[in-house]
Chains A and B, each alone.
Chain A
Amino acid sequence: MKVFAVVVAFLVAVATAHESCYSQVDQACSKINSKPGLDQELIPCNATYGHINIVTKDLINFANTHIVRSFEYLLMATHYGNYQMNRAGFEKLFRGLSDEKWHEAIELIEQITTRGGVMEFVPPKALNGVEKTNNVYQLYEIQSVAKALDMEKKLALEAFNIHKEASGRSEGKHDPEISSYIEKEFVHDHAKTIRKLAGYVTDLKSILSGPDGSLGLFLFDEYLQKQ
């Protein structure tokens, strides 16, 4: 019985020792012939704290969604750059969105690593069950803006979801650093982009129900070039 108690006490001591970076470093320093960090990683000495683990997977998915969206917008821009479509304004709009998603993907990776996470490169959930048909990015002007609007709303909701996961104060899932990051870097920008695209759909709808849609699209494209 006594032996058992001693063993338990020892185990508890070891467990608590491993919880602090200092104690692990201290332990490693006292072993004269072993250097810290060489034979074992100093696990409590990483950057993770708070409830980052709850949202890491979601942040990884969010970053991967951005990469995929960036390439999709690049294809939409390409379509408007060909001589038949010849819409430099629409090309610029989608290239801008493509650049934006790409840079946000890099920033998300940096955020994940800032909080001690490891980025994983895996297909995002947004690709699940989506079969790629041949003409999916070769769309008419109003269709492509409508598609972009849908894509942006999905990104906005994904950001809301991460925010929710990091804000469960009562359930002990509280990570204000993440929720603030999502608000500052994504939430407000999404609202602006969505409003802008919805406005474009409104304009295109009225232009295309008018007598000369072709001329209307030319003028609207010219307007987009100046944005």
Chain B
Amino acid sequence: MKAIVAGTLLLCTFALVKGEELQCSHKQEELKTDPNWTDMKHSCINSMRTQIQAELRAAMQYLAMGAHFARDTVNRPGFAKMFFEAASEERQHAIKLISYLLMRGELISDVSTLIDSYIGVEKTEWESGLEALKNALQLEAQVTKKIKGVVKVCEDQPGPNDWHLVDYLTGEFLEEQYKGQRDIAGKVSTLSKFMDKHGALGEFLFDKKLLSGEL
């Protein structure tokens, strides 16, 4: 009994001497090799990482479009709303890709370099709503092409075809890309028909329809 008391006292003193020291790190299970359960290949992982950046770059470009059409001397709140929403959507795409990699046991290391510390935008002004919509369509077509590039890498990599990721990208991501592109293409034609005879008035009406979600 005395021994226990003495032992406890010793422990307490030890803690006191140690003062504010905290045990911040704890045991980490290293499951990478034993058992070997993660099976994504390097080239495929890297192309996914690049795609995450590409989605965020698209988000930033849409943010710039929103900022332009929100200006007092541009005054197209419908366009601004549409582009701000598109920006948040692109950010969600990046998050979905991150979640996928996490699900597959990736992003254990090199997380800090996954996103550049600053992502700039290429263009900040547009002549008209029509020009911006055409730009958006081009941007989406480029993203689609890049996703196909990821699919190709993850199919043809040395080692087995990554069926599950390829299925996810073609089934979910490309589906959304094609629907999105169809939607923008439709808006481009409607707007150019509006503007054919009515120019500024056409854009004004189109903008208000965008704002109230009637397109």
Q: Which residues of A approach B to under 8 Å, CB–CB?
A: 41, 46-48, 67-68, 71, 74-75, 78-79, 81-84, 102-103, 105-106, 109-110, 112-114, 116, 118-123, 127, 130, 132-138, 140-143, 205, 208-209, 213-214, 217
Q: In the bound complex, how far is the Cα of B115 from the Cα of A136, in angstroms?
A: 12
Q: A74-B115, A75-B112, A106-B88 are in contact. Are A214 and B102 (CB under 8 A)?
A: no
Please give, as numbers and ranges, the residues of chain A lying within 8 Å of B23 by CB-CB distance.
Answer: 208-209, 213
Q: Please state if B112 and A71 are interface contacts (CB–CB under 8 Å).
A: no
Q: In the bound complex, how far is the Cα of B64 from the Cα of A109, in angstroms?
A: 9
The total of chain B residues at the interface (CB under 8 A) is 50
Please give, as numbers and ranges, the residues of chain A lying within 8 Å of B159 by CB-CB distance.
Answer: none
- Nearest CB on A from B72, distance (A): 4
Q: Please state if B108 and A113 are interface contacts (CB–CB under 8 Å).
A: no
Q: Please state if A140 and B112 are interface contacts (CB–CB under 8 Å).
A: no
Question: Quick check: which of B1-9, B24-32, B205-213 contacts chain A, the rest being far away?
Answer: B24-32
The 5 A-B residue pairs with the shortest CB-CB distance, nearest first, are: A47-B72, A119-B67, A113-B70, A208-B22, A140-B24
Q: Determine which of B87, B91, B113, B124 lies in contact with A134 in the assembled complex, contact meaning CB atoms within 8 Å.
A: B113
Q: Determine which of B21, B63, B70, B102 lies in contact with A78 in the assembled complex, contact meaning CB atoms within 8 Å.
A: B102
Q: Please state if A113 and B67 are interface contacts (CB–CB under 8 Å).
A: yes
Q: In the bound complex, how far is the Cα of B112 from the Cα of A136, in angstroms?
A: 6
Q: A78-B107, A102-B91, A120-B124 are in contact. List 19 more A-B contacts (CB 8 A).
A: A67-B60, A71-B117, A74-B115, A75-B111, A75-B115, A78-B102, A82-B107, A82-B108, A83-B102, A84-B29, A84-B30, A84-B31, A103-B88, A116-B72, A121-B64, A121-B67, A121-B124, A142-B24, A208-B24
Q: Determine which of A83, A113, A134, A209 lies in contact with B71 in the assembled complex, contact meaning CB atoms within 8 Å.
A: A113
- Nearest CB on A from B119, distance (A): 8
Would you mind naming 17 contact pairs between A and B with Cβ atoms under 8 Å apart? A46-B72, A68-B117, A71-B56, A75-B112, A78-B114, A81-B99, A84-B108, A113-B67, A113-B70, A113-B72, A121-B124, A123-B120, A132-B112, A133-B112, A205-B20, A209-B22, A214-B27
Please give, as numbers and ranges, the residues of chain A lying within 8 Å of B98 by CB-CB distance.
Answer: 74, 78, 81
Q: A74-B95, A106-B87 are in contact. Are A134 and B24 (CB under 8 A)?
A: no
- Residue B214 interfacial (CB < 8 Å): no
Q: Chain B residue with minimal CB distance to A139?
A: B24
Please give, as numbers and ranges, the residues of chain A lying within 8 Å of B121 by CB-CB distance.
Answer: 121
